[in-house]
Structure 1
Amino acid sequence: MDTNDAPRPVEISDEVIRLGQFLKLSGLVDSGAQARELVAEGEVRVNGEVETRRGRQLQRGDVVALDHPQGSEQAVVA
C-alpha cells in the first residue's frame, strides 16, 4: 500500500484491542515477535505519533501506520 492510500478498516469484536494484537489482526505483521520488534524499534505510529508500548489500548477510529522500505501501510480500527 502506498502512502497516498486511505487506511484500510479492520473490524474488531470488542471495544478496545491492544496494539500488538491489532498489528497481527490487520496483517501489518506476520507474528507477535515481529510486532514486538517493530514496536520496540519505534517503527509503529498510532494517530501519527510513534508508539513503543505493544500493550497500548486502541479504540475504534485509531489509525495505525507501519513504515516499510517500500512505503507505509495503514489500518484503522473499525
Structure 2
Amino acid sequence: MQRLEFELDREFVELNQLLKLVGLCDSGGAGKALVASGAVRVDGLVELRKTCKIRAGQVVSLDDVEVRVVAA
C-alpha cells in the first residue's frame, strides 16, 4: 500500500478536493465521481458524500493508496 501525507493548512478540506490535491484524480469533478462510485473510504468506512469535510487526523483511502491528513 502506498502511503501519502497531506498537510492541512486550514480547518478542513472537501473530500473531492483532497483527492485532486494529492494527485489521485485530475479534477474536483473526477473526485466527485470517484466518491459517488463508492471507491473512497474515510477512516475505513465507505464515504459517499462528495464534499465531506476532511479534518486533520483522518485517513482517506482509494484502491491501494492511503492518505493521512495532518495539521500543518
Q: Normalising by structure 2, what TM-score?
A: 0.87
Q: Secondary structure at the match of 2:65?
A: strand
Residue in structure 1 matched with residue 14 of structure 2 by the alignment: 18
- RMSD in angstroms over aligned alpha carbons? 1.1
Aligned residues: 70
- List, as ranges, runs of 4+ consecutive aligned residues in structure 1 with deviation greater than 3 Å: none
Cα distance in structure 1, aligned partners of 2:26 and 2:66 = 15
Q: Which structure 1 segments of 5+ residues have no match?
A: none
Q: Which structure 2 segments of 5+ residues have no match?
A: none
Q: Normalising by structure 1, what TM-score?
A: 0.81
Higher Rg of the two aligned structures: 1
2:57 to 54, 61, 65: 61
